[in-house]
């Protein structure tokens, strides 16, 4: 006869099933939201199938911090020195560290060889900037630091349509403050809700630091100089011979000098469930931000994702408490039942072993007897 399951047991089982299903759904939602912010996973693209561990760190400075391209060079040297101490050296001038730097230099009205114009936010970029961003390229290519020509521009699709009524305009001229550039690449507009909220309505263009100096002149430099050196966003990818190596190098190099004017993000761990749940204790830091630090739109989008994931993974942890508590209760009850039935269980086990042993010895004796009879 099958025992009848009590109603309360059915309810407990149903609650646990719903909790586990809910935790699985939240895990999938959280993973999807994190992966959508692709720039946080640039280290995976840089690793390119290698089994080595890599770290990725982003630094955001206030304009008053005075961080410059010279500072980027200094920390790049520091990275190689620290890697050498960890017995990691370059072979055949191998590039071990990827880095990028950028700053929003201002807005300007772009014109072209036709009648189109476009009010555009212009960002000066250097290093491996497009490796980190991984913009979706519609046409053309990204420029690099070692390109001979420094007057190439990467513009978003909205700028292209405002100027020429098409995004198939690679090689076409654009003009910013009477400085002629050419369109090297056209990128898609952001496609995640977080990025759409943060990017604003003004289209974007990305140019080299050399081009920015020509366009913005003294307004782009530090201390009245026409040389553009300001950096408000700096990012690094480096091998991680030990856990959090990249983050530790950056923190030691910057933290004391730029205290209060700097925000450091460990991209490698920022979206991990334990990191996000821990961040709930100081959620106001994400909501309010840090001082006068300048965050580009892609980082603001990731900070929105940070907040969402904190609540998603916090809710998942609460749901998982239900089956964990249920399992703990069952284990306690099983232990108590065992203690009550311990004597009887021991006797039953002893009787079982005794019967098995008797059968085994009887069978063995019978086999020996049959062997003896055959020999005789």
Quote helix, strand, coil % in the chain, to nearest 5: 50, 20, 25
Q: Kindly report the CA angle at 230 between 225 and 232, in degrees rounded to 5? A: 160
Tell me the β-bridge partners of 118: 110
Q: How many CB atoms lie within 10 A of CB 81?
A: 10
Q: List, for residues 142-168, the tens digit of each pLDDT value.
A: 998 888 788 999 999 999 999 999 999
- So what's the pLDDT on residue 319? 96
- How far is the C-alpha of 339 from the C-alpha of 333, rounded, in Å? 10
Instruction: Using 50 as the pLDDT threshold, list the residues of the chain that sit under it.
Output: 223-225
**Coil/strand/helix, residue 364:** helix
Q: Which of 126, 74, 134 is nearest to 99 (CA)?
A: 126
Tell me the β-bridge partners of 234: 59, 101
Write the DSSP string, 282-300.
Answer: GHHHHHH-STTB---HHHH
Reported pTM: 0.82
Q: List, for residues 296-324, the tens digit of each pLDDT value.
A: 999 999 999 999 999 999 999 999 999 99
65-70: long-range pairs with CB below 8 Å, 24+: 65/232, 65/258, 65/261, 65/262, 66/222, 67/230, 67/231, 67/232, 67/234, 67/258, 67/262, 68/222, 68/229, 68/230, 68/231, 69/101, 69/126, 69/209, 69/229, 69/231, 70/229
How many Cα atoms are found within 13 Å in the side-chain-facing hemisphere of 65?
30
Q: Which of 297, 281, 286, 270 is nearest to 30 (CA)?
A: 270
Exposed/middle/buried for 91, CB within 10 Å: 0-12, 13-18, 19+? exposed
- So what's the pLDDT on residue 343? 76
- So what's the pLDDT on residue 256? 86
- How far is the C-alpha of 231 from the C-alpha of 211, rounded, in Å? 15
How many Cα atoms are found within 13 Å in the side-chain-facing hemisphere of 59?
32
- How far is the C-alpha of 124 from the C-alpha of 126, rounded, in Å? 7
Q: Which of 270, 322, 245 is nearest to 34 (CA)?
A: 270
- So what's the pLDDT on residue 93? 74
Q: What are the b/e assignments for 251-268, b being 16+ CB within 10 Å?
A: bebbeeebeebbbbbbbb
- So what's the pLDDT on residue 224? 45
């Amino acid at each position: 006869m099958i025992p009848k399951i009590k109603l309360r047991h059915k309810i407990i089982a149903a609650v646990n099933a719903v909790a586990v299903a809910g935790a699985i759904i939240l895990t999938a939602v959280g993973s999807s939201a994190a992966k959508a912010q692709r720039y946080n996973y640039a280290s995976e693209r840089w690793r390119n199938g290698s089994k080595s561990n890599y770290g990725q760190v982003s630094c955001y400075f206030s304009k008053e911090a005075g961080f410059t391209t010279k500072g980027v060079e200094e920390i790049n040297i520091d990275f190689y020195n620290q890697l050498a101490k960890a017995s990691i050296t370059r072979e055949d001038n191998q590039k071990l560290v990827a880095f990028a730097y950028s700053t929003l230099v201002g807005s300007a009205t772009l014109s072209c060889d036709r009648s189109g114009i476009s009010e555009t936010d212009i960002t000066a970029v250097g290093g491996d900037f497009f490796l980190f961003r991984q913009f979706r390229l519609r046409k053309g290519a990204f420029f690099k630091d070692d390109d001979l020509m420094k007057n190439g521009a990467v513009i978003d699709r909205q700028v292209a349509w405002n100027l020429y009524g098409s995004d198939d305009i690679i090689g076409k001229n654009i003009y910013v403050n009477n400085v002629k550039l050419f369109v090297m690449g056209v990128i898609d507009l952001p496609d995640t809700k977080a990025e759409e909220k943060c990017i604003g309505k003004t289209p974007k263009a990305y140019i080299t630091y050399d081009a920015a100096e020509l366009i913005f002149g003294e307004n782009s430099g530090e201390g009245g100089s026409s040389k553009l050196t300001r950096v408000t966003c700096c990012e690094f990818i480096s091998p991680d011979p030990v856990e959090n190596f990249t983050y530790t190098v950056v923190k030691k190099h910057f933290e004391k000098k730029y205290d209060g004017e700097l925000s450091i993000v460990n991209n490698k761990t920022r979206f991990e469930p334990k990191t996000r749940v821990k961040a709930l204790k100081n959620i106001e830091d994400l909501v309010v931000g840090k001082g006068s630090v300048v965050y580009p739109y892609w980082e603001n989008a990731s900070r929105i994702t940070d907040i969402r994931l904190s609540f998603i993974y916090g809710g998942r942890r609460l749901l998982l408490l239900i089956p964990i508590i249920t399992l703990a209760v069952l284990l306690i009850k099983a232990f108590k039942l065992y203690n009550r039935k311990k004597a009887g269980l021991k006797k039953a086990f002893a009787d079982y072993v005794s019967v098995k042993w008797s059968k085994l010895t009887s069978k063995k004796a019978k086999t020996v007897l049959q062997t003896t009879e055959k020999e005789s």
